[in-house]
Structure 1
């Protein structure tokens, strides 16, 4: 079975190769993300493994079908990079990764959050200018005297909540489907209550097209506690960035850490010589160090990549042998 895997960074290759010892697939590992320009790389392969920001739209799906691809897999939880309806129409067997190490994303969200809480990014910028004076922007509230909001209390959100709880914070949570087994960790509140009372809000909910685009917007920001910090290591589509910028400009929002963006391939995974080719993202960038962009690194850890690859290869093996997998995209 010949399978091409897109978006494989050099540091990830040994993980792919080790996992493949259980399957002996004929692997092609490329660091490129799938685009319209490199679709011909797929020729001669029966299976394709994607990652986020690979383009599996109608144009590329037609090409895959023409090239004889039978199996279309993604090593991601999200599937919004695939035109699923059209892929089903063309008859591809598809599977995804329902979860991977929740610690990978929660660690990034917590670490960027704590860095902003203690103004470390601001201090780093001062150090870059050989400025070691102490000013009022370095002053910080202690975490144990703070309230943290967790939006989305699934696997990742709960791990992040545990980290903040371990530092002594009070934890409020919001979820469309509240759990009844986490009362010792957090207290559920409405979205408005969280934004009114929390010192930092961390997003960990999925993006559901047509249901929660831009639900983090000025309607919520009108309720925010002054000098709130927002961390998004979930999905970029959740935030209205024009509204975010407006409330950073008026200093209602203190700092923001963004590991995901809407249409993030415009910004991420490339080095920009001039301005960022998106007006609102450039405006946010200009607010650094109050704004931190990280290029979708939440899953960029040893355990997360291992989980993604192991599950993806198992999915393919199951589909080949039985016609389906427990993680089929239906």
Structure 2
């Protein structure tokens, strides 16, 4: 079985190779993303392709795969919106995804961004990097144990984030569309409006449902506590970027941290230093540093998360190829 794996970073290569010892696939690991006709044509001679986020299996690329004889299309992500699933089904591609991986990876990223904004470390280190060692009023901060942290979305990742913040001494409240049991020791579940009104830090860990549109809107932000911090390490489409920019500029938000952006494929994974970004909203966000902290979708960029993604992807392919039950099949 020949497998072409897209978007493999240098640090991930040993993990792919170690995981493959249990499967014996003929792997080709490339750093390229699936975003051009040429990148799709790299699959010539391969039985399967393994995608990551920002690899777009659209009609053009799926047609190329079909013509080249690719049999299986897999993604090592929980999201599948980068695949034209309906069209892939028409072409007869068996597909699978990775529904879950280390929740700690994303939760830790959210906590890290929140603490950087709370303690103004990006602001402070940007000054000391220029040899300015003065302490000014911006650097004064609350301790997290004196804060209320609101977690929106109490799935596996949200619950881990809640546990970490609770362990740091914060009062943690959370909201979910379902009533979550067994969290009483570290989080009190309340309605969304109460989360927004009371929280000094709000961290988003909800899924994106296209029919519902953005979660973080002007109305959402209006209901938040003045001077709060907002974190989004979930999905970029959950946030109205323009509304967040307005909230930061007005001082409604004291800071915004994000590991995802709506339309992030335009810039993430690219070196655009010294260039003006084509998307004016992205240009504004970057200019708001250090009140806005952007990381280029690094939440799952950890040893444990990558291992989980690769192992599950390889097992998915094995199940599909052997016509076994594949619980992670994209239906």
TM-score bracket for the superposition, by shorter chain length? over 0.9
Kept in 2: contact 1:174–1:191 (CA 8 A): yes
Alpha-carbon offset, residue 322 of structure 1: 2.2
Aligned match of 1:185: 186
- Cα RMSD, aligned residues only: 1.0
Alpha-carbon offset, residue 169 of structure 1: 0.5
Aligned match of 1:234: 234
Q: Give 3-state SS (helix, strand or coil) of 2:210's partner.
A: coil
Question: TM-score, normalising length from structure 1?
Answer: 0.98
**1:277-305 deviation line (CA, Å, top 9, x unaligned):** 21011111111110111000000000100
Where in structure 2 are the equivalents of 1:91-102 lying within 5 Å? 91-102=92-103
Kept in 2: contact 1:191–1:220 (CA 8 A): no
Question: TM-score, normalising length from structure 2?
Answer: 0.97
**1:43-98 deviation line (CA, Å, top 9, x unaligned):** 11110100000010111111111111111100000001001111111110011101
Kept in 1: contact 2:241–2:262 (CA 8 A): no
Alpha-carbon offset, residue 323 of structure 1: 4.6
Distance verdict in 2 for CA 1:324–1:60, change over 3 Å: farther
| Stretch deviating more after TM superposition (78-87 or 269-278) | 269-278
Where in structure 2 are the equivalents of 1:274-313 lying within 5 Å? 274-313=275-314
- Give 5+ residue unaligned stretches, structure 2: none
- Give 5+ residue unaligned stretches, structure 1: none
Aligned match of 2:134: 133
Alpha-carbon offset, residue 186 of structure 1: 0.9
Aligned match of 1:245: 245
Alpha-carbon offset, residue 181 of structure 1: 1.5
Q: Give 3-state SS (helix, strand or coil) of 1:202's partner.
A: strand
Kept in 2: contact 1:119–1:137 (CA 8 A): yes
| Stretch deviating more after TM superposition (65-74 or 180-189) | 180-189
Aligned match of 1:321: 322
Where in structure 2 are the equivalents of 1:68-217 lying within 5 Å? 68-211=69-212, 213-217=213-217
Q: Give 3-state SS (helix, strand or coil) of 2:42's partner.
A: helix
* Number of positions where the alignment pairs a residue of Structure 1 with one of Structure 2: 329
Whole-Å Cα distance in 1 between the matches of residues 278 and 129 of structure 2?
A: 26
Aligned match of 1:40: 41
Q: Give 3-state SS (helix, strand or coil) of 1:42's partner.
A: coil
Aligned match of 2:13: 13
Whole-Å Cα distance in 2 between the matches of residues 104 and 271 of structure 1?
A: 24
Aligned match of 2:254: 254
Q: Give 3-state SS (helix, strand or coil) of 2:19's partner.
A: helix
Alpha-carbon offset, residue 210 of structure 1: 1.5
Kept in 1: contact 2:149–2:201 (CA 8 A): yes
Whole-Å Cα distance in 2 between the matches of residues 181 and 61 of structure 1?
A: 44
In the TM superposition, structure 1's runs of 4+ consecutive aligned residues that sit over 3 Å from their partners are: none
